[in-house]
Homo-oligomer: A and B are copies of this chain.
Amino acid sequence: MDEAEQAPPEGGERSRVAAAVPARSAVPAQPSSARLSGSSPVAGRPVAGTPVTSTGRAVSVSRAAGIKEVAAAAAVSLGTVSNVLNRPQLVSPRTRARVERAMEELGFVRNESARALRAGSSRILAYVMLDPSNPFFTDVATGIEEVAAAADLSVFLCNSGEDAAREARYLDLLLEQRVQGVLITPVDAVNERLRTLPARGTPVVLVDRVAGAGEGCSVSVDDVLGGELAATHLLERGHERIAFIGGPDTLNQVRDRRAGALRALERAGLPPDRLTVLATGALTVAEGRGAAERLVGLPAARRPTAAFCANDLIALGLLQMCVRLGVAVPGDCAIVGYDDIDFAAAAAVPLTSVRQPRYLLGRTAAELLLDEANNPAHEHQAVQFTPELAARASTVG
């Protein structure tokens, strides 16, 4: 029932935009219901999405001052102003003060394009991410930003939205920008552009993917081990029939985590058919809910007593449906997720999950990138971290 509400979360709104705003106009024509926001509260209740606006005049401005104007105002040469900006210790305190005052007065802002042009590269790193709404990636991004800030670089986040074309567009753009380096969680394994960037002198580090030979640096987490940890945990708690829920199988993460679960069974001396694989079409909450119904539908004799989900979103969907169907967690069905996103601990039954060192992933990736950019003796590395299990109530009843 709430499926329908959730699926196209704001479809209605968007079509309303189309209705209110002629497609070509840069700014919405104001519908008749528009009000000055200074006036009293809106009478009646407009449909969601109906904008209420107030307007005001735009103020025009004088043209930007450059280093040249500053030099003139301070009665020094161009070179001196540049020195104040870049090598202040070379400038006598007196002159420096004069120049700085001139900058202040003129509202001088250094033109980064000119700087970058002359210097040959910018002070920027970029992280091209799959999905900024996945907390996993934003944590990675935070790690990256910490390292970058320490090196006095800034990070621009680019959202590929799991779309190879958008990813390619961003990579081209970043190349043209001559960024210092690119961190990327690529959409597909094979990406020709990921080879051209390093060939053009822009270092690239793969995040959450393992670089093949000659592919440069990468930072990832051992998903096979993670799967093994999860399954071993369930085995240790006495479960002997386990479901693996996840897909599509094209994702490395899914394959590796399942392989890890199988390895755990093998170590425990159990046959592989004790792992019931329920394939999903994506790693989403909705797919998790669907899997729950399939799981419950299995004949009791063969029904697993525990489920290992390929990520936390699936696990949360599964959990939600179990609660609704009256399946006790962990009594009737223990659940392990993967990623340990914040919402995992915050679920109605706190979720046991495999935790990946997210900040550290980001930090290390950024460190490798900086090394590649600055250290001529740089050697490519494929760093792989090990995950750990966060046991919570969904398995430890």
Question: Could you list which residues of chain A lie within 8 angstroms of chain B, going by C-beta atoms?
Answer: 2, 5-6, 9-10, 13-14, 16-17, 21, 26-28, 37, 41-42, 45-59, 61, 63-64, 107, 109-117, 122, 126, 132-133, 135, 138-139, 141-142, 145, 151, 154-159, 161, 169-170, 172-173, 175-178, 196, 198-201, 210, 213-214, 216, 222, 224-225, 285, 316-317, 319-320, 323-324, 340, 342-343, 345-350, 355, 357-360, 363-364, 367-368, 370-372, 374-375, 378-388, 390, 392-393
Contact = CB atoms under 8 A, between A and B. Distances in A.
Given A2-B393, A113-B117, A158-B156, A319 B342 contact: no
Contacts of A367: 21, 26-28
B199 A61 contact: yes
Contact of A112 (B161, B176, B368): B176
A357 B110 contact: no
A175 B109 CA distance: 7
10 contacts: A5-B390, A10-B359, A47-B386, A50-B385, A57-B379, A61-B200, A107-B200, A114-B117, A142-B161, A154-B158
Contacts of A222: 42, 52
Number of copies: 2
A157 B50 CA distance: 27
Nearest to A60: B376
A341 to B, nearest CB: 9
Contact of A56 (B61, B320, B340, B380): B380
Given A17-B363, A359-B10, A380-B55, A27 B368 contact: yes
Contacts of A393: 2
B111 A117 contact: yes
A217 B322 CA distance: 47
B58 A380 contact: yes
Nearest to A49: B357
B111 A132 contact: no
